[in-house]
Structure 1
Amino acid sequence: MQTENTGPLKGIRVVEMGQLIAGPFCGQLLGDMGADVIKIEPPGKGDPMREWGRGEYQLWWEVVSRNKRAVSANLRIAEGQELARRLIATADILVENFRPGTLEKWGMSPETLHAENPGLIIVRVSGYGQTGPYSNRAGFGGIGEAMGGWRYIVGDPDRAPSRMGVSIGDSLAATYGCLGALAALRHRDQTGEGQVVDSSLYESVLQVMESLVPEYVISGYVRQRSGSSLPGIAPSNVYKCLDGEFLIGANQDTVFARLCKAMGRPELATDERYATHVARGRNQVELDALVEAWTMKMTVAAVEASMLEHSIPAGGIFRAAEMLEDPHFAAREALVDVPHPRWEGLKMQNVFPKLSRTPGGIRSIAPQSVGQDNAEVYGEVLGLSGDDMADLVARQVI
């Protein structure tokens, strides 16, 4: 773990009022880069993410809440709302992912918050955005993935739309929210003005859909589910070997020629059925079968060695076990040890991206109890005394 905060956002205070994934992941990204992230949770059970995981192994919280301090405040009552407003008045960035209108209902509209803190950047992550006819609808990541076009094209063509094994819609919306916050910080540096960053789940997914919409508008083409390959991109697929599966991407002309040489079939590179990108796409199924007929006679290690020898993009299908054993993961410190009082030997993904001069890092583990930093934060930032906080606890404000 990092002992000194060297991140580029050192000195930036973030108040995180989100819960579950999208808001908290945005807060994690900012905290990883050095920001002081103060997470507000409801008294009692706190963020539901504290209970997410596999049975008793509630480890998702440990990743998404690292580098944060935790305070409690009951935002459903006036005293809790006032406490949050006072904290936000000291902040550079506010992150929230409630349904649009919730902040306004709590007396924390952007106009109100900016009147007290003109330079505040308010990151609002929601299903459908802060405006438009769907804005008041409840929205989870999967719904945004479907509306943004992701779900329809993921999976095998003979089955219902599938999903990724991670909450990609939430993570994308959080990442775009973080990107917007950083751009807004640049504007504030120049003008002193804060602003609202409006990041919706469905539009975040839409941003990574490549040419899906233009293809339809211009040619009427509707992308379909295609399993492990992309239509017209060949050979680029997962191929069976004697002892597993291996991914090969040799769809560019010169790379395909090298693959043909590796396979002992150099004539395929000039065969009119495969000589060009368009031809290979047209004969994709047949070409994939030829490649797999070759890989099925070899072990994964042998195929990998051949791909390295011929400089062909390829790689294994990694699970956690392979990541932990891989020398490149180790050399890059992509996974790091995180000393923890409860989880002995805990490892998790490191801070990313890597910065050469102001690297971020994991400085502290996730808060282990709801409101564990109440005394430190409320005392240090708001000047509340022990008696003040005892009174707030008695009235169930914190």
Structure 2
Amino acid sequence: MSSQGLPLSRFKVLDLTRVRAGPTCVRQLADWGADVIKIEEPPKATAGEGLGGPRDGFDFQNLHRNKRSITLNLKAEAGKKIFFDLVRAVDVVVENYRPDVKSRLGIDYEACRAVNPRIVYGSISGFGQDGPYALRPGFDQVAQGMGGLMSITGLPGQGPVRVGIPIADLCAGMFCAQGILLALLERENSGEGQWVQTSLLEAQIQMLDFQAARYLMDGEVPKQAGNDHPTSIPTGVFPTADGHINIAVAGQEIYERFCKAMDAPQLMTKPEYASGALRSKNRAALNAEIAELTRTKPSAYWIEMLNKAGCPSGPIYTIDQVFSDPQVQHDQMAVPVTHPRLGEINLVGQAIKMSRTPATIRSATPDLGADTDTVLQELGYGADAIAELRKTGAV
């Protein structure tokens, strides 16, 4: 399937990324049509499983779709020459090495800018490109801890709890993709590229959002609130006759609507529940009264009734139930793609929908080096030159 007509189809990207944060960034560019060339190390007879898990595994396949793969030895002079030939021909380079590695290899932003002043160079690190922790290896759970997220996740008194997805990695990748798009837009005015930087730690702190602002403005250190929303009350998980549901009640108007829908006038007339501040102070007692009501009927009853009354409510799904839900299927969040060896597989769709130029999964993750010859031919290398490069281990 062609990328022609997609929003980023005019851009070319060199992908030096590994593991998750960097690949998440490049996946955004690839899904929206960029011509992505994934640069990987040539295979080694003694090498074990690479970073990012098995190539045919669900994670690698989901992260690296819509790309082309070439193998390139960046420690060899011939390999480095090919790299800079590519830099001259592309718009974007993305990497998530530890900050000192790219300089040691001689492929940092300044080196790329010297051969292509229009290059947009995206970098993701653990903690920043400089500063006291710059050379520490980055890892999602470490960033979750340092970024404060684990201190506000989980049940009160439970101790620190990680979020069930690598949220620092994912957000750093998304922010880097956003930064690259901003730099490409700015380049239309200035004619120059620039270095786009983010880190797992910075991304995690930005994602604290109102919890961070709560401390910065009011001096209040948020604590674990479990399944209860920290400020909108009553919002949380409530038992039903056959499981649990989420109910979200924010503000006085929805609270009164909720009390009427539940046929529970006492929740409106009790003075200890009369305002948001009082409901916050008496949260445990209020939640207990609501739970006594919700456990009398099944989840489906409450979800339908509350939503009809304008009170947000929803199920708490396992992952298989997520993808069985009719709304999720309508939103096309599981997207089929044909892999040359694995057959038809389903990957996670894009959350962004556009009316004229929707994102597409045009091709499955390529095999290692599947496009090396094609890319080299595009750079003007002939068959004999390519054979020599293979012989010397440059590709």
Identify whether the pair has TM-score above 0.5, normalized to the shorter chain.
yes
Q: How does 1:268-347 map to 2 (within 5 A)?
A: 268-347=267-346
Gap change, CA 1:47 and 1:181, over 3 Å in 2:
farther
Tell me how far apart the structure 2 counterparts of residues 4 and 99 of structure 1 sit (CA, whole Å).
32
SS in structure 1 opposite 2:228? coil
Within the alignment, does 1:51 sit opposite 2:54 as a pair? Answer: yes
For 2:63, the aligned partner's letter is: V
SS in structure 1 opposite 2:338? coil
Within the alignment, does 1:370 sit opposite 2:349 as a pair? Answer: no
Tell me how far apart the structure 2 counterparts of residues 18 and 177 of structure 1 sit (CA, whole Å).
12
How many pairs does the alignment contain? 391
Residue of structure 1 in register with 2:214 after alignment: 215
Residue ranges of structure 2 left out of the alignment (5+ in a row): none
Within the alignment, does 1:384 sit opposite 2:381 as a pair? Answer: yes
**Aligned Cα root-mean-square deviation (Å):** 1.8
SS in structure 2 opposite 1:377? helix
| CA-CA distance at 1:3 after TM superposition | 5.3
Gap change, CA 1:68 and 1:47, over 3 Å in 2:
farther
Q: How does 1:140-159 map to 2 (within 5 A)?
A: 140-159=139-158
Report if aligned partners of 2:205, 2:212 keep a CA contact under 8 Å in 1: no
Deviates more, 1:386-395 or 1:212-221: 212-221
Tell me how far apart the structure 1 counterparts of residues 340 and 284 of structure 2 sit (CA, whole Å).
53
| CA-CA distance at 1:217 after TM superposition | 4.5
SS in structure 2 opposite 1:370? coil
Give me the TM-score of the superposition, normalised by structure 2: 0.94
Give me the TM-score of the superposition, normalised by structure 1: 0.93
Report if aligned partners of 1:351, 1:362 keep a CA contact under 8 Å in 2: no
Q: How does 1:1-398 map to 2 (within 5 A)?
A: 5-44=4-43, 47-51=50-54, 58-367=57-366, 369-380=367-378, 382-398=379-395
SS in structure 2 opposite 1:338? strand
Report if aligned partners of 1:21, 1:170 keep a CA contact under 8 Å in 2: yes
| CA-CA distance at 1:394 after TM superposition | 1.6
Residue ranges of structure 1 left out of the alignment (5+ in a row): none
Report if aligned partners of 2:241, 2:297 keep a CA contact under 8 Å in 1: yes
SS in structure 1 opposite 2:30? helix
Report if aligned partners of 2:337, 2:362 keep a CA contact under 8 Å in 1: no
Tell me how far apart the structure 1 counterparts of residues 223 and 92 of structure 2 sit (CA, whole Å).
40
Gap change, CA 1:3 and 1:271, over 3 Å in 2:
farther
Tell me how far apart the structure 2 counterparts of residues 303 and 26 of structure 1 sit (CA, whole Å).
39
Report if aligned partners of 1:118, 1:193 keep a CA contact under 8 Å in 2: yes
| CA-CA distance at 1:365 after TM superposition | 0.7
| CA-CA distance at 1:219 after TM superposition | 4.1
Report if aligned partners of 1:75, 1:81 keep a CA contact under 8 Å in 2: yes
Tell me how far apart the structure 1 counterparts of residues 210 and 335 of structure 2 sit (CA, whole Å).
37
Deviates more, 1:17-26 or 1:271-280: 271-280
For 1:82, the aligned partner's letter is: K
| CA-CA distance at 1:304 after TM superposition | 1.1
For 1:397, the aligned partner's letter is: A
Structure 1, residues 228-271: CA drift from partner, whole Å, max 9, x if none? 11334311111111211111101321111121112211232243
